Amino acid sequence: MKRNLLLLKVTLCLFILTILSYDTTAQDWNVMHIPDTLKKDATIVTRMKQEKIEVMGKDKFTWTFRKVFTIFSENEHWEETGLYYNSFIKINNLKLTTYDASGLKIKDYGKKDFKDYSVFDGSSIHSDGRQLTLSTQRSEYPYTVELSYTLEFASNLYIPNFRIQQYGEAVESSNYELVFPKDAAVTFKSYNLPLSLDSIYSEVEPGKLKFAWNFKDLYAIKGSAYTLPNDLVLPHISCISSNFTFGKTKGSSQSWEHYSKFIYDLNATQGEVTPEMSQLVKDLTQNASSELEKIEAIYQYVKSKMRYVAVTLEIGGLQSFEASFVHKNFYGDCKALTNYTKVLLKEAGIESYGALIYRGDKKQAYLDTTFSDARFNHIVLYVPSQDLWLECTSKSYPAGYLGSDNEDRFALLVKEKGGGLIKTKAYDENINIQDIDITIQVNDDGMHEVTYIKTLHGEDHEDFRYYVDNADREQLEKYFVRNLDQTPIKFSSLDIQYEKDKPISTVKAKFYISKIGTQTGNRFFLNSNPIEKLNFFTDNAKEERKGPFYLQNHSTNKLKITYILPPGYQMESKPIQTSAKKSDFGKFEVSSAMEENKYVFTRDFVTKPGIFEGNRYKEMMDFRKEYNKLESSKAVFIKP
Amino acid sequence: MNTKKIYLLALVLLQCLCLKAQDIKKISWGKIPQEDLSMTVYPLDSAAEAVVLDDIGEMFFYFGNGVRYTLTSHKRIKILKEGGIERGNIFINYYFEKNSENIKGLKAQVIAPDGTVTKVKDENIFDEKISESQAQKKVACPNVQVGSIIEISFKIESDRWTLPRDWYFQSDIPVRHSQVEFIPIEDVTYIKQTKGFVPIIEKNGFFISTNLPAMKEEPYISTIDDYKAKVTFQLHAYINSKGVYTPYLAEWKLISELLHESFKFGHRIYNDGQVSDTWDLIKNDLNLTGDTLALATSIYNKVITHVKWDEKYSLFADREGDEVYKAQTGTSAEINALIINLMRKANLDAHPVVTNPRSFGRFNATYPMLDNLGHVLGSVVIGGKRILFDGTNQYRPFGIVDEEDLTTDALLINKKEAKIIPVEVQNESESHSIELSLNAEGQITGTISSKYRFLSIEDEAEAKENKSFETRWKSRLEKLSDNITISDYEASFGEGDFKSKFKFIAAAEFDQTEDMLYVPTGIYSQFLTNPFKLVDRKFPIDFGHQISETVITSFDVPEDYVVEALPANLNLSTTNKEVTYNMACSNLNKKVQIVRRTNILSPYILPTEYGAVRGIFDKIEVKNNDIIVLKKKAE
């Protein structure tokens, strides 16, 4: 009897203890609990995410970040955690935990487990940018990563975007908060947010505002070829401050004009003219008979004497070296060289303005003109009296030529008052031209002599312009060969030049090739185009494309190939007479003809840019496939 | 004394002076010879964008809180073209961890052809930590123009006396004169090893080389550093405080003793306590029937499928086996040490084999150098035969190593003993059978059955497991069409091989006219296009292993057609049969079949043979793309 009672008591105690120890707040990262619908097209599923930006004052804000996400297969981007910091950013409370597929913890990592590297941004000789990195890669998938940290920023100049979703990322639930004192004057704008959204606004204390957004069950957005700029597709919230301090300079992003003034103020002290500089301008412009000639003389001096060296420390990221430093040392980065050129021009009586710009892929350069969130990475110079642009880091560009990585985008003029957005010139099919003329002497010994002349205008001429000045003969040959469809057996001559005052390069070459076709019995199959195919990318996705697509290329591509055949070759069949087609994506005209003992193939292809509806994707691909087929056609000859 | 004798004496003296001046060189700071200032082109290489005029070094050893050395460097670079101006940015790496190295007395200046000097100031010099142990001094020289000479001098103070820095004579631009003076302390001797394809004179402790051509990266070589002219130093022996002569890693035996004592090597392999947890976890799944090959294979497979290689090569295993198994990732030493230790626990005769990955520099059997060892493989003796293994890829069958492991020989370690063993040449073997036909829509369809052996197994096995076989084969078939649909893919391991089979449809048609049909036979081969793109090549071709490929392409001639022309058979071979190719075509019972065999028997081919090898691959490319002509039957 007693024993049974004891047993009962013990069991009851144990039972109660078990209930109590069951942690009902424990989060469950078992991957089985992810609904299948969320896994579709997803590289990762974000189980939970909490981001909070809290602005403390004019020159401080904190960013608290916590994210738990499950990775399904090998993926370098998500499995390497990299956290950037510099003299303005501090990383605190860094913690990373990994869990296996059933949700059991594998390992905890702290700051000491991360490797600390300096960041090579591709151009700076020295910067204070650094990165903490850690790889979580394992052999068994899926697994889950929990990452949390706090960043402290010592300036409100750049408030990061809330990035709700990246390509391939599905989200179970996420929550974003923006808290700021009224006088920090933070404004925000949201883009591409899903309809199923929950947003809250409240005043947490007098003078302190809070905005919050909650999201649930967001399906992954699939990446594909020819996507629109990310800012037009991915959901995000941009924030700017109308009242910030950077170093000792106050500024505002309230409008483009305000931001322009801030950059102006930051660099206002860097333009002092020394007597040597003054004398230099006098010497350079003494023989100039027009304003344009003065500009060209000064620009020529900067191009030939200066070299590009970037040192970005602290506020040096936005403030240039003094003009006198550049003058003495003969080097500087884009800000310093642009500032220096501007100062010299001013000394010659010519007004010019620095123009902030995003240099690189046009898709990344996209900006919303109605929201002054500045994301520039470069600066060029604009001379309004001539409507002329100058790329001051180039060693050889003609005055007025900015380059294909600066064309057709908005730039912000830096002025004390009235600085606004202005668009750089777009390079169209009349500026981007490739014109090729090839003659191939077909020889029975299999070594066919090619006489090759190619003239490049605009975008395509830039690489050759660079290589002529910076590569040796061997590298130049390698680069030229890389762009051909087959390697020459040997070169007789290779001459590459560029025009000093125009964006044009020419290549003249004589070389031997062996692969112009195949022979079976006494039949010879001649390739219409053995070395300069356009060979467009074509896609064979089975499912219809959902989103719109964006074509950027805008150029003219002309080619004429003349084969000189030995006597006795009889044509058995010819692939095409003339074929021409026009569409919204461009137009082409291809023809082949036999003239005595010469077989001539010509093509003229113009590509057109644009944004098109997803349901026209197949139409565009078919247009390209038709051209690719014509270009790969063969003419059949009977040999004697 | 007659004037003739005096004259003769003077001549002889003059000769001696000239001879000396030609080899060991002295330069003084700032005193640049006029010819160098006015040079506009380097006579030995007119295309050079810059040239190192003089690179003078001195490595001076001394006692000061242990053995230390200083490397003093005095260098002059002439800028000849625009492209060379970048060399005005100078970077000097050094180890800052635990104050191991310091850079002192750094000074630099830029001299224009007219003699004007621009000095480098403090504001042009930066110091940056680039990783946990290394830092970099960066110098941005002012006023660098075409024609400038950059002169730089500095001293590195170092405590890394057992493995002093290599001195590279060659660079990616030509070097006119490079020398280093090596001044050791008495009682401490070093092995000095010169490398490269240019003459290096050793004289009175100086190593000198002159008129060196530029050395640039090229494809299909193990690594450029193997070919750059340099001299390397390793501590050989020293007289210790008791006056006893102490050899330091002078022989492989000493290295193996050092490794055995090391916690991160010997203990990881020979102390079975380090894998006891793992053993408990896996022992019930092992094949303990007495078949030692099956046992070794099951241990190997258990580890490689559970632990993923983190792409790092190492000689020492930072963590013990149990921890590595639990973490599920490891370096090459950690994974292979774990496997060896488990095999030993299972009473197998397993031992480590120490080597260096090919792309890090060849393992050198003649000179025991710790620097030369960066990787550990495993070996186990089964049935009297030694089998090598490398667990860095979970799709690699037991008994096959990686391409990176294929050095000529390696160091087998048996506890404290060491022995050089050869690494057998391995083969990458693939054979494919392609059956073609035309479907009702006029598209090209077919079935491809493949068999992979030895080194070629792991890539296809991995493609099957991570489902990338579609992308893999679509890209292999892209010459046929860029729109390929793959279906019915199946693949599995067989006896020593891996087989795969699948169907494909290509949105491409045979070229045809009214009465002719042209069937392309170049569907797939590794050699559909010539892999050798360079017109000319300085270095040997190093495939790393043998390659054999057999492709059989066949199709049924459609009912209403006959064969009009078949390509001719062909046999090709290079002089010493380094590369051979056979192609034979037949037409039997309305089935056309082409058999093509390509064999590369010699993994290593000298640069003198490059022209012939490139030429043969051009011919192979043409032949692999033969077309078969069919004609419609006359009514």
The more confidently predicted of residues B566 and B111 is B111
For the cut 70, the answer to whether the pLDDT of residue B147 exceeds it is yes
- A119 within some domain: yes
Beta strands in B159-224 (DSSP E): 167-168, 175-183, 188-195, 201-203, 206-212
Residues 6+ apart with CB under 8 A from B425: B406, B545, B546, B603
Helix (H) or strand (E) holding B333: helix B332-345
The most confident of B16-25, B98-107, B193-202, by mean pLDDT: B98-107
Q: What is the pLDDT confidence band of residue B18, given thresholds at 50, 70 and 90?
A: very low
B16 pLDDT band, cuts 50/70/90, is very low
A-B CB pairs within 8 A amount to 139
Residue A574 lies in a domain: yes
A138 touches chain B (CB under 8 A): yes
Burial of B439 (0-12, 13-18, 19+ CB in 10 A): exposed
| Structure-block tokens of residue B455 | 């080194």
Is A22 among the domain residues? no
- Sort out which chain A residues have CB atoms less than 8 A from B142's CB and list them: 328-331
Contacts of A139 in chain B (CB under 8 A): 305-308, 328-329, 394
Q: Is A640 exposed, middle or buried (0-12, 13-18, 19+ CB in 10 A)?
A: exposed
Distance from C-alpha of B207 to C-alpha of B200, rounded to nearest angstrom: 7
Work out the mean pLDDT of chain B and round it to a whole number. 87
Report CB contact under 8 Å: B533, A481.
yes
- The Cα–Cα gap between B174 and B49 comes to 9
Closest to A368 in 3D by CA, of A553, A229, A262, A211: A229
Is A283 in the same domain as A233?
no
- Mutation choice for B interface testing from A124, A308, A331 by most B CBs within 10 A: A331
Percent of chain B predicted with pLDDT > 90: 50
CB contact under 8 A, A521 and B564: yes
Nearest chain B alpha carbon to A486:
B533
From the number of C-beta atoms within 10 Å of its C-beta (0-12, 13-18, 19+), residue B358 rates as: buried
Of B85, B132, B216, the CB nearest to A307: B85
Contact status, residue A298 vs residue A344, Cβ threshold 8 Å: yes
Q: Return the pLDDT at B64.
A: 81
Nearest CB partner across the interface for B49, out of A117, A472, A489? A472
B14: pLDDT confidence band, cut at 50, 70 and 90? Answer: very low
Has residue A55 been placed in a domain? yes
Window 145-204 of B: residues touching A by CB (8 A cutoff) are 145
Window 464-483 of A: residues touching B by CB (8 A cutoff) are 469-474, 477-478, 481
% of chain A at pLDDT higher than 90: 63
Strand A244-246 and strand B167-168: pairing? unpaired
State the number of CA atoms in the 13 A half-sphere of A383 facing the CB: 28
| Domains recognised in chain B with CATH numbers | 14-239 (2.60.40.3140), 252-422 (3.10.620.30), 427-632 (2.60.120.1130)
Same domain, residue pair A224 and A333: no
With a CB cutoff of 8 Å and minimum separation 6, the contacts of B590 are B556, B557
Shared domain for A408 and A445, answered yes or no, is: no
Interface of B with A in 451-510 (CB under 8 A): 466, 482-485, 507
C-alpha dist (Å) from residue B278 to A62, A146, B197? 45, 27, 50
Taking each helix axis from N to C terminus, what angle separates A291-305 and A334-347, rounded to the nearest 10 degrees? 140
In this structure, is residue A14 part of a structural domain? Answer: no
CA distances from B625 to A518, B503, B508, B553 (A): 7, 21, 16, 12
pLDDT in tens, A201-216: 777 778 888 999 999 9
Q: Give the whole-angstrom CA distance, residue A207 versus residue A177.
A: 17
What pLDDT sits at residue B21? 38
Residue A424 tokens, joined: 């750089």
Q: Residue B379 belongs to what H/E stretch?
A: strand B375-382
Q: Is the pLDDT of residue B105 over 80?
A: yes
Residue B276 CA to residue B259 CA, distance in Å, equals 22
Mean residue pLDDT across chain A: 89
Whether residue A508 lies within 8 A of chain B, CB to CB, comes out as no
Which one of A199, A218, A246 terminates a domain? A246
Say yes or no to pLDDT of B220 above 70: no
Closest Cβ opposite residue B622 in set A126, A491, A515: A515
- Do residues A214 and A320 both lie within one domain? no
DSSP, collapsed to helix, strand or coil, labels residue B501 as strand
pLDDT higher than threshold 90 for residue B229? no
Q: Per-residue pLDDT tens for A454-474? A: 999 999 999 999 999 888 788
Residue A11 belongs to some domain of the structure: no
Cα–Cα dist B574/B183, whole Å: 50
The span from the CA of B558 to the CA of B555, in Å, is 9
More confident residue, B8 or B291: B291
Are residues A401 and A459 located together in one domain of the fold? no
Contact between residue A521 and residue A504 where contact means Cβ atoms under 8 Å apart? no
Same domain, A390 and A483: no
Q: Which residues of B308-332 are buried (b: 16+ CB within 10 A; e: fewer)?
A: bbbeebbbbbebbbbbbbebbbbbb
Q: Quick check: B15 pLDDT over 50? A: no
How far is the C-alpha of B414 from the C-alpha of B262, rounded, in Å? 14
Low-confidence ranges of chain A (pLDDT < 50): 21-25
Query: Is A488–B143 a contact, with Cβ atoms under 8 angstroms apart?
Result: no
What average pLDDT does this structure show over B215-243?
Answer: 74
> Which residue in B316, B281, B286 sits closest to B301, CA to CA?
B286
> How far, rounded to the nearest angstrom, does the alpha carbon of residue B600 sit from its chain's CA centroid?
19
Predicted pLDDT of residue B224: 66
* Pairing outcome for strands B497-506 and B444-454: antiparallel
- Grouping H, G, I as helix, E, B as strand and the rest as coil, residue A132 is strand
Contact A521 B535 (CB under 8 A): no
pLDDT given for residue B19 in this prediction = 40
Q: Which of B186, B200, B188 is nearest to B232 (CA)?
A: B200
- Nearest by CB to residue A329, choosing from B86, B124, B130, is B124
Range B223-227 average pLDDT: 67
Q: What CATH number is attached to the domain comprising A118? A: 2.60.40.3140
Closest residue of chain A to B310, computed from CA coordinates: A137
Is residue B154 predicted with pLDDT exceeding 90? yes
Determine which helix (DSSP H) or strand (DSSP E) holds B452, and give its type and residue range. strand B444-454
Question: pLDDT-derived band of residue B218, with 50, 70 and 90 as boundaries?
Answer: low
Query: Do residue A606 and residue A497 come from a single domain?
Result: yes
Q: Is B518 on the interface with A (CB under 8 A)?
A: yes
Q: Which of A229-243, A413-427, B469-483, B543-557 has the lowest mean pLDDT?
A: B469-483
Q: How far apart are the first and last CA of chain A?
A: 116
Q: Alpha-carbon distance A322 to A271, whole Å?
A: 6
Residue B240 has pLDDT above 90, yes or no: no
Distance CA A432, CA B85 (A): 30
What are the tokens at B522? 């170049």
Q: How many CA atoms lie within 13 A of B385 on its CB side?
A: 7
Least confident of A188-202, A623-637, B67-81, B122-136: A188-202
Distance from CA of A493 to the nearest CA of B (A): 13
**Cβ-Cβ contacts under 8 Å, B126 against chain A:** 125-126, 311
Report d(CA A602, CA A439) in Å as an integer. 12
- pLDDT for A54: 93
Higher-pLDDT residue of B161 and B352 is B352
Confidence band of B189 (pLDDT split at 50, 70, 90):
confident
Question: Could you tell me if A111 lies within 8 Å of chain B, comparing CB atoms?
Answer: no
Chain B residues with CB-CB distance to A137 below 8 A = 308, 310, 329
Chain B nearest CA to A530, separation (Å) = 13
Same domain, A191 and A261: no
Q: Is A227 inside a domain boundary?
A: yes
Judge if A408 and A437 occupy the same domain.
no
Q: Are residues A507 and A619 in the same domain?
A: yes
Can you tell me which residue has the tokens 């076709």? A517
The A residues from 372 to 401 touching B (CB cutoff 8 Å) are 395
Report helix, strand or coil for A358. Answer: coil
User: Tokens in use for A138?
Assistant: 């394992």
A155 is a domain residue: yes
- Do residues A409 and A543 both lie within one domain? no
Structural tokens at position A458: 């605009």
The answer to whether the CB of B464 falls within 8 A of the CB of B502 is: no
Total structural domains in chain A? Answer: 3
Please give the residue range of the domain that contains residue A221: 31-246
**Interatomic CA distance for residues B455 and B424, integer angstroms:** 13
Q: Are A172 and A69 in contact (CB under 8 A)?
A: no
- A580 and A445 fall within a common domain: yes
Give contacts of B 236-275 with A, CB under 8 A. Answer: none
- What is the pLDDT confidence band of residue B349, given thresholds at 50, 70 and 90? very high
Query: Nearest residue of B to residue A143 by CA position?
Result: B328
